Structure formats: structure tokens, C-alpha cells
Structure 1
Amino acid sequence: MENEELAEYIKKYDEKFNHTLGYRMMTDRINRDENKHYNDKQVYKIMHILGIRSIVRPKRKSCTVRKNNNTAKNNLKREFNASKPNEKWVTDVTEFKYGKHNEKKLYLSLILDLYDRFPIGYEISEHNDNTLVFNTLKKAMEANPQAQPLFYNDGGYQDTSPTFI
């Protein structure tokens, strides 16, 4: 009788959580929500009999691939204050999702002057590529033609491409 009751709970929670719970999480949820004291092994055995398995999601790979031969030396050394304009610039690319189901993406590439934290160049694009970063740098240099700043980036793939270095 106890196993039949447990089987009903397992079916209910499997459906409720879209088949994503493994036996450990299933046990924790049932015990907490239903005020029961089932054992992991007992839940595992019933799930196995019912043919219920969790869906294992693959691990996401990191977007940033670091290549030692393409990484510039970190000259900024966490000194994020500048004593004069155009002394230190920092840059990064940010992804924004939009649309009814966040299915569309926009990318903002921005360069800040660390003296006053004011943006000196930016570019928006639907593609996160080298062109986005180059156009941002071009705009910043056109706005400040005499500038020769210490330029720092996070080492993303655009920033470590052979063309950029």
C-alpha cells in the first residue's frame, strides 16, 4: 500500500516538474510537500519500475575561450580610477534578450573612460562579432583623436582575436 501511494506521488511530481526531477530531488520534494519520510532508495526503485527518469541537461560550455598566445598582459591591475580624461578606457559586450519569449538578442559594445565613467563610444548590433567591437573602438577614437589610453577588456573572444591584438 505504501509503495502504491509513493508511486502516485512520483507520477504527480514527475508531471508537475516536467520530468526533470531525479530520485534525490523527487524524494526531497515529496517528503517536504507531503510531510512524508520516504528513503532515496525506495523512491529510486519505484521510479525505475515506473520507467520514470529525469532529463539530464547537458552542461553549457563557456563562451570565452582563452588562448595564452592571444591574451594581452593585464596592465590595469585593478586600478579602476584615472587621474585625467582618456588615461584609462575599459570595454565589454553585453547581451540583451527581448521579444515575446526572449527569442531575439541585441548586443551592446561600450567603451567607458574611467576618469568620469562616461561612455565615449558604443555600438549596438544583432551580432556579437569582431565588427561590433571594431566599430565601437573606431567611434571612440574618432571622438577622441588625441587619446592614447591604457585600454582594458575582459578577454572575450572578439578581444583575443588575432585581428584585434
Structure 2
Amino acid sequence: MLTFLEIPKSNYYRWKNKPDDEYECKLIDRIEGICSKHKRRYGYRRVTAVLRTEFHLNVNHKRVRRIMAENNLQAKIRRKKFIHFKPAVIVKKADLVQRQFKADEPNRKWYTDVSTITDGETNLYLSAIIDGLNNEIISSVIGSSPNLELAFETVNQAVQGRTIDKVILHSDQGGLYTSPRFQEFVKEKNIIQSMSQVGVCYDNVLIESFFSHLKTEALYSQDFDATNEQIIEIVEEYIYYYNNERLQLKLNKLPPIKYREQLHTA
């Protein structure tokens, strides 16, 4: 019959082995359950692995990927990185910190970076500065683009109300900080720049650690589709909590601001 109708055997077997709608619905339910349980942290490969190991379903990963795409179940944590600002001229600075992160007084060593937040409707960019005395976030600005204006605003917020006398501002060698415009800007603020090695996150571990805590404790644990406004509110609430309530073992089990206040009254 296949020969008479000129139908390839592969088409016939594809039709014969095609599961019914009931099976498809059950598979979707399984996938939705897995994604919900793991709070949208699993991509299609891990979901496929769970289906095979826990539910003993011989399902193809391509099918799982299609179902997740059609039902908006893709993992929320990782997205393609935005191409950050790149200046036409790059000027690097020496590493003045050399992993000696601790400061004996406020406003002696600051650490800064920009982190991408992917949990909202669109990517957001958090630029922050942390003080080496007590790990206090003294400045934080959220923008829709990792541009120079974001970096300028972060520095302006940090110097507001503070007496600055050649504070070291340590960063990576990202385009924002190697830009001559940014370097001239911070120089006018009586700030000395310092830069870590390329691709060595341990050279700027204080700010990297803060970003990690923020995303783990405030963002990745959220099990809902948030708007950008909600993400901004969550980040601002966490920074207040981090500065005022979250105990840090290295600060005599005190939050950053209480630790600073204790030093001033001692």
C-alpha cells in the first residue's frame, strides 16, 4: 500500500508512533511540575533527565525543549549577556588593593561593579559601590543600560554627604571604568582608581560576593514572573536589609551599618 500510494516508510512509522493527545497533556503536566518544583531553574536538558530518571519516560530532549518553549517554561536564570559599553580609548590602572580589601576607616577603599539582573520583563543593570570598612552598600543605581551615565550616577550617589579624601575606587577592567571620560570624572571627585586583573573575580571579591548574595537570597528564590518595577522594589528592599539587618560573621555578627556605628562609639 505504501508503494502504491508512494508514501515513504519513514512517514508511516512517524504516524504510527505518534502519541495521542492524552499522552502529550500528561507530559506537559509533568514538565510543568518539574519546572515549578525547581522554580524555573532547570533548562530542557535537566528537565529531560528528570523525566527519564524519576518518571522513566523515554522522551526526546528536542520534544521537551519544544513543549517548554510553547508553554513559556524556559529557565529564568541564564540569558545571553548584553554587550557592555566599550570606549574608543581604553586606559588601564594599576591594582592598588592587591586583595587587601579591608579598610580601617570609612571612605578609604570602595569597590564597584555592574551586575545584570535577568528576572524582570527586560534586563536591568545594577551598579553599586561597597565600602571596605564594613561591607556597606553606600551607593546603588539600577538602569536599563550599562552605560556611562549609570556609572556617573553611582559615584555621585556615593560622594553625596561624604568627605572624600583620595578614596580608592577599585573595579574590574570593564569598559565603563577604562573609559577616559569616567576616569576624568572620578579624578574631579578626588577619587583614585584601581583595577583588578582581567577575568579574575577574586580581585574584586567584596562586590562580587554582594551580587551573589542578592541574586541567591532575593531573586532566584522568587517563584513568579516579576515586572521591572517589582524587581527594582525587591532589590532596594534587599539592600536595606543587607545594610541594616543581615548579620555578617566577619563584622562581629552585626549588620554593616550597626558595625560602623559601633566603631564610632567605641
Q: TM-score, normalised by structure 2?
A: 0.37
Q: Cα deviations across residues 64-101 of structure 1 (Å, max 9, x unaligned)?
A: 869995111111111111111111000011111133xx
| 1:124 aligned onto 2:157 | no
Amino acid at match of 1:125: G
Amino acid at match of 1:162: P
Aligned residues: 116
Deviation of 1:148 after TM superposition, in Å, equals 2.5
Aligned CA-pair RMSD? 3.2
Rounded to whole Å, the distance in 2 between the matches of 1:15 and 1:82 is 53
SS in 2 for 1:78: coil
| 1:154 aligned onto 2:172 | yes
Is the strand fraction higher in 1 or 2? 1
Amino acid at match of 2:146: N
Q: Which runs of 5+ in 1 are unaligned?
A: 20-59
Q: Tell me the equivalent position of 1:16.
A: 63
Residues 135 and 13 of structure 1: CA distance in aligned 2, closer, same or farther (over 3 Å): same
Q: Cα deviations across residues 121-151 of structure 1 (Å, max 9, x unaligned)?
A: 1211111100000000011111313343111
Rounded to whole Å, the distance in 2 between the matches of 1:98 and 1:147 is 38
Residues 96 and 15 of structure 1: CA distance in aligned 2, closer, same or farther (over 3 Å): closer
1:96–1:106 CA contact under 8 A, matched in 2: yes
Structure 1 runs (4+) deviating above 3 angstroms are 12-19, 60-69
Deviation of 1:105 after TM superposition, in Å, equals 1.3
SS in 2 for 1:131: helix
Residues 136 and 66 of structure 1: CA distance in aligned 2, closer, same or farther (over 3 Å): closer
Is the helix fraction higher in 1 or 2? 2
Rounded to whole Å, the distance in 2 between the matches of 1:115 and 1:69 is 30
1:2-151 aligned at under 5 Å gives the runs: 13=60, 15-16=62-63, 70-99=91-120, 103-151=121-169
- What's the % identity of the aligned pairs? 27
Residues 16 and 162 of structure 1: CA distance in aligned 2, closer, same or farther (over 3 Å): same
1:97–1:104 CA contact under 8 A, matched in 2: yes
1:66–1:155 CA contact under 8 A, matched in 2: no
Q: TM-score, normalised by structure 1?
A: 0.57
Rounded to whole Å, the distance in 2 between the matches of 1:15 and 1:141 is 53
Residues 14 and 77 of structure 1: CA distance in aligned 2, closer, same or farther (over 3 Å): closer
